[in-house]
Amino acid sequence: MRFVSTRGGSDPVTFKEAVFSGLAPDGGLFYPKEQPDLRELIGRFNDQTDFRVLAREMTSALFGDEIDSAAAGRLAERAFSFSPALRPLEEGIVLLELYHGPTCAFKDFGAAFLSAVMEEFLRLERRRAVILVATSGDTGSAVARAFHRKENIEVVILYPSGRVSELQEKQLTTLGGNVCALEVEGSFDDCQRLAKAAFMDRNLKRSLNLTSANSINPGRLIPQSFYYIFAVANEGTEESPLCICVPSGNFGNLTAGIYAWKWGMPVAQFLAATNINDVVPEYLKSGFFTPRTSQATLSNAMDVGNPSNFERLLAEFEGSVRTMADLTRGETVSDAQTLETMRQVHEQQGLLIDPHTAVGVTAARRYRAMGAERVIVLATADPGKFVGTVERATGVRPQLPPSLSAVLDLPKVAIPIGAGLDELSALLKDRYLVD
């Protein structure tokens, strides 16, 4: 598979090149130049197929020219010590639980695959890399956990001092080993500016093989398609294809679903469920894409006013809102509706769901009321990550997942630094430059 830029200004690159450069040189996002027809392979998966086997077969089929089958097997084994799980919720609605990974949210799938891919490529080339990530909390911890103890990889996390929760800080600062946490005197924006400045410094970038692992990396996006195919292999029937409902913010998750459809996964309809930050549902209705400043909601991982993956979605539909709207229906869900769904699901099924999943369930119920037979809803986070909101909606205080609470008792280890590039640059050279 070759990748080109959504802005059209770069030659096709290999998967490896796309993974290590992150953003395309013209500032666009990499997307697949051509989508392969994998109907035959996808049709062979069924409810007995192990997720790791599916991941291995898909990796081989997509990237066989760069990753041989032995490497694909190694990669799937090393990335996925956890699997998606299906749970019937109510008549016509099934949850696809994507939160059984180390940081209890679906972003673990992308981060785990990306780290295993980078490790594999670096091993073959006998190279090392330094991953530099600026974080406001959650994404950084998914990346740090995924890259922890990977060979030939050092991880440097920049986080704003005093501006992340205690739990988030502990997740970033207690791993040790190849993960180094830098506590930056400044805001999240300062951290991002600092990371950007480091990547712009060609000398620093080259000498350390400085690499990013942010959410627009195609190595994080592609593996998210695997769990859609897994869900359809388990729940799909030839007679009535499924609808799949995706709680969305930056629209990476939905993009991955669209890729799976392009490769031949049968699906009747996608539902793009958002909170009131609904520029994409609006676009699907009106044909006008109008980015705006995001507003804070209870499903805060979806508070995105200008979703970066919109460019990739447009590319798949060749810029036609008609074609996109035929396959994808948008639904907007308010905080009040989110809380009400959480309350009802708890009352009726005795189940706690997180606010992001609740946005999806609300949209799925609406679509069922319009006649849809069966809808799969992506459950994107463990309810235990959103204690306050879950308690407010249901009166029940959920348990913090054990893999998260375990870090609370460990000692914090972080290096305090200022927000200037000189200090960061000196520290990185000192720690990671060999000779």
Helix (H) or strand (E) segment spanning residue 182: strand 179-184
Smallest gap from Cβ 304 to ligand PLP, in A, equals 7
Nearer to ligand PLP, 302 or 407 (CB): 302
Smallest gap from Cβ 193 to ligand PLP, in A, equals 22
**Which positions touch ligand PLP (CB under 6 A)?**
105, 107, 247-253, 301-302, 356, 380-381
Nearer to ligand PLP, 225 or 253 (CB): 253
107 in catalytic set: yes
From the candidates 16, 107, 170, 385, which is the catalytic residue?
Answer: 107
- Given the structure tokens 């009747």, which residue do they identify? 268
Residue 73, φ and ψ in degrees, nearest 5: -65, -45
Question: What's the CA gap between 214 and 218, in Å, rounded?
Answer: 10
Smallest gap from Cβ 154 to ligand PLP, in A, equals 25
CB 267 within 8 A of CB 244: yes
Nearer to ligand PLP, 122 or 254 (CB): 254
Structure tokens at 276: 């009131």
Question: What's the CA gap between 188 and 200, in Å, rounded?
Answer: 18
Smallest gap from Cβ 355 to ligand PLP, in A, equals 8
Smallest gap from Cβ 101 to ligand PLP, in A, equals 12
Nearer to ligand PLP, 28 or 360 (CB): 360
Question: What's the CA gap between 130 and 182, in Å, rounded?
Answer: 14
Residue 273, φ and ψ in degrees, nearest 5: -100, 125
Question: What's the CA gap between 229 and 265, in Å, rounded?
Answer: 7
CB 415 within 8 A of CB 191: no
Nearer to ligand PLP, 103 or 161 (CB): 103
Structure tokens at 329: 């229906």
Instruction: List the one residue out of 331, 365, 335, 366 whose CA is nearest residue 348.
Output: 365
Residue 130, φ and ψ in degrees, nearest 5: -110, 115
Amino acid identity for residue 210 in this structure: L
CB 122 within 8 A of CB 153: yes
Question: What's the CA gap between 368 and 366, in Å, rounded?
Answer: 5
Smallest gap from Cβ 208 to ligand PLP, in A, equals 29
Residue 324 exposure: Cα atoms within 13 Å on the Cβ side: 26
Count of beta carbons in the 10 Å neighbourhood of residue 177: 11
Nearer to ligand PLP, 210 or 361 (CB): 361
Q: Which residues are catalytic?
A: 107
